[in-house]
Amino acid sequence: WMAKFECHFINGTEKVRYVVRGFYNREELVRFDSDVGRYVGLTPYAEKVARNLNSDPAEMERKRAAVDTICRHNYEVVTPFSVERR
């Protein structure tokens, strides 16, 4: 099991998108996108996992708040390595 966490900054911190992707055996199974606001399963089994994760209100609140607590909070640290290198 591996997870990949991504912050996508559009126009500085004005529009921020937080994406968490869950992989098993190099196949993406589950994805959380802050624009969608919930987990999405990409296989039949992962749909059950996503449904289970979406039913936990504390988990959903944590993921939705990650846009501010993770992405916007670390914007100043990430900017020199990502945004300004273009």
Check residue 84 and give its pLDDT: 55
Domain ranges of the chain: 2-83
Alpha-carbon span 71 to 78, nearest angstrom: 9
Taking the CA atoms of 63, 67, 68 and 73 in sequence, report the sign of the dihedral they define: positive
Alpha-carbon span 44 to 19, nearest angstrom: 21
Residue 33: CB atoms within 10 A of its CB come to 17
Residue showing tokens 């640290």: 77
Q: What is the CA radius of gyration of the chain?
A: 14
CATH number of the domain located at residue range(s) 2-83 in this protein: 3.10.320.10
- pTM here is 0.81
Do residues 33 and 39 lie in contact, with contact meaning Cβ atoms separated by under 8 Å?
no
Q: Measure CA of the first residue to CA of the last residue in the chain; give whole Å.
A: 32
Query: Residues in the chain with pLDDT < 50?
Result: none
